[in-house]
Amino acid sequence: MQPRLFFLLALLAIVSACKEELDMAPPGVPTLTAPQAAMVAALDTTLWPTDSVPLATPDTDLKWLDAVAEKRVVALGEATHGTREFFQMKDRIFRYLVEQHGFAAFAFEADFAESIYLDQYLQTGSGELRNLMETRMHFWTWRTEEVHDLLAWMYDYNVNIPEEAPLRYFGVDCQYLTYQHFLLEAYLRPVDPILADRVKEVVWAITAEDQQGFVNTTSDQHAAWQDSLEVLSVAMEARRNALIGASDYLTFEMHKHLLRSVHQVMQVKVAVVLGDQATNWRDAFMAENTEWILEVMGPAAKICVWAHNAHVARNALYGLGGAMGYHLGQSLGQDYAVIAFGFSQGQFTAVTERTGSFHGLNTQTIDELPRPTSANFLLHHAAPAAFVIDLDALALTPDWYDYFRGTQSFLQIGSIYNGVPSRYYRDLDLDDVFDWLVYYKHTSFARQL
């Protein structure tokens, strides 16, 4: 056979084979490479399938949680702030950890002062839950039917199982001065009117400056206010017995912590005004507040924390100083576990952003498959529609070992979305910053109240 004829026949054979391959896959749809297919096969042998309807998940399908049940803090993340499945699965996980392992509180990425109103409802039933959420919760992210159902369950648990220590709700965030001054004055005035006046004078002055964005606050004024708050905290401590006698231990500690909350909010905002960006104060304070909850609830207390994946991650590089999870990992060590959440496609709630302007809270949709070079692309090809992964166990399999030695591209969206999914992939060392991953191939949006 002539070389030219042989070459033409070989070329035709290659073209024919490529055409058959293209005919088998829909146009424009990326397919797995052979190494990726091997990784997915290994993934399918190590994952735990779970129900696509989270609240329908039976206890038998949550046995994987027994591996983290002795941790003092189990952090539950989310890859968006508005996904129904994430919220409902966190609800289901918390119920299991309460009923099977004695967890005592849920701490949210919500401001501390507002959480006192919600916690009072859980303890006494004072107020109406939906109204409290609509009027006291600052963030739209938690004003949802899913969080309402969780809090309603916590209240029912407290009522129906009175022999158990009541479940508590805390906020660990520190972005706003909202109700600190009202709550402190209402708590102090019946017992110590003079101290109430002193607190009112200082906290109201700081709150007034906060309303102006602390733009006129000098470093000297900031230091003076910090000193004043510390003096007031010492004064409250001196009145500890009388104040506890008029309320109870935890109520006293929560109101005393309001002064620390004022300090934290001021520090976060003044740092921006003064150009001090060397520390991620917000995440550092969220970690501090979580540790404070453990301290006041006692050495045996175990709690869950609800926040975005970015905050719960053991990520030293997040925000110039590290994420909340990094700080908790440093202080708690093996007593801290992170359960992150991920997804491929579907709907979620977020504020719409277009060319630098914002267009309100809307239902967002991602129809396209995950980026082919991302971890999400591999996870999307697993057999179940919803599943849980022990990332440390997966990293020990030969097919994933080398993959986890570097960073992985992972889809995470905050409260704002511009409609371009490719801009929301983040490079993370997944098995280092998270312990477990709950994954849904398709999601729906969280329902606003």
Q: pLDDT by residue (tens digit) across 92-126?
A: 999 999 999 999 999 999 999 999 999 999 999 99
* CA dist., res. 408 & res. 377, Å (int): 11
Query: Phi first, then psi: what are they for 340, rounded to 5°?
Result: -95, 170
Q: pLDDT by residue (tens digit) across 293-336?
A: 999 999 999 999 999 999 999 999 998 889 999 999 999 999 99
Q: Token pair of 186, please?
A: 């209402």
Q: Comparing C-alpha atoms, which of 308, 339, 293, 334 is closest to residue 167? A: 293
Helical ranges in 247-374 per DSSP H: 249-273, 281-297, 309-312, 324-332
* CA dist., res. 231 & res. 235, Å (int): 6
pLDDT at 10 (0 to 100): 34
Over residues 267-274, mean pLDDT: 91
pLDDT band at 163 (very low <50, low <70, confident <90, very high): confident
* CA dist., res. 97 & res. 62, Å (int): 10
Question: Is residue 426 predicted with pLDDT exceeding 50?
Answer: yes
* CA dist., res. 106 & res. 415, Å (int): 21
Question: Is residue 9 predicted with pLDDT exceeding 80?
Answer: no
Q: pLDDT by residue (tens digit) across 175-186?
A: 999 999 999 999
**Residue type for 76, please?**
L
Q: Comparing C-alpha atoms, which of 39, 45, 28, 53 is closest to residue 385? A: 53
pLDDT at 27 (0 to 100): 56
What count of Cα atoms within 13 Å lies in the side-chain half-sphere of residue 327? 22
What count of Cα atoms within 13 Å lies in the side-chain half-sphere of residue 357? 1
Residue 447: CB atoms within 10 A of its CB come to 15
Over residues 410-420, mean pLDDT: 96
H/E element holding 48?
Answer: strand 48-49
pLDDT at 355 (0 to 100): 85
